[in-house]
Amino acid sequence: MIEIKSIYKSFEDKNVLEDISFTFENGKTNLIIGQSGSGKTVLMKCLVGLLAPNKGEVLYDGRNFLTMDKKEKKSLRREMGMIFQSAALFDSLTVLENVMFPLDMFSNKNYNERVKRAQFCLDRVNLLDAQKKYPGEISGGMQKRVAIARAIALQPQYLFCDEPNSGLDPKTSLVIDELVHDITTEYNMTTIINTHDMNSVLGIGDSILYIYQGHKEWEGNKDQVFSATNERLNNFIFASDLLRKVKTEEASKVK
């Protein structure tokens, strides 16, 4: 579980985040949503330590990340996994070597143990047969699955996903969503996803934080989205005619 309490972040005289508090729960896919420029990316960077908030607390299972010394922060970062928007694989390494990279850097396992762990992770994302291929030889969706395998190689307690469906077709996006959700529940991780994808919101939004202009505008889950009365949230999520039709149909079922 990760708790944020009264987070503020500004750059010079511009306030980007103001008084944001939220609890990201274990075993759930926690989504951060909002328009471009709303502050959600800045918030995720504050969570992983790439930016320091001006005020507030970031608690990892009760441990205040912001007051830790360098050694404590280094230890905590080994409990984190990260899936980048672009997958960020090394082109010169095979799929297996990409997944092994964090193990090579941070694990005390011997070579054979590292290979076995990497192969287990690739098997978990159904890519064991691609272990000898290079990133340029596989599809974008497969690259994202390799990124997921790499992110879970060190058995993290906390998984961060920055726009994991970016650049993917709708069908592949659903595969990635289901995979991240399944892994989250299977390993009881605290997963935080920064996304613009409304299919992700409605499909795997176990817990949702909606940010508007740096403020927490709404929180809830995918089921509560349909009954939400927050006008800004509705304008953001149900912007298309198709999604407005879905909302109307869901509302009629409730009645």
Domains of the chain, residue spans: 1-79+158-222, 89-155
pTM: 0.88
Number of H helices, E strands in the chain: 10, 10
State whether CATH 3.90.50.10 applies to domain 1-79+158-222. no
**Alpha carbon distance 214, 208 (integer Å):** 15
pLDDT of residue 199: 87
Q: Which of the 8 DSSP states describes residue 133?
A: S
Q: Does residue 41 contact residue 162 with C-beta atoms inside 8 Å?
A: yes
What is the helix (H) or strand (E) element at residue 43, kind and residue range? helix 40-48
pLDDT of residue 20: 96
pLDDT of residue 238: 81
pLDDT of residue 255: 54
Return averaged pLDDT per consecutive 10 residues of the chain, 255 residues in all. 96 92 96 91 92 94 92 90 85 95 91 96 93 94 92 93 86 90 93 90 93 95 90 84 66 60
Mention every residue, 6+ apart, whose C-beta is less than 8 A from residue 32: 40, 43, 44, 192, 193, 194, 195, 209, 211
Q: Does residue 18 contact residue 8 with C-beta atoms inside 8 Å?
A: yes
Structure tokens, 197:
């994808």
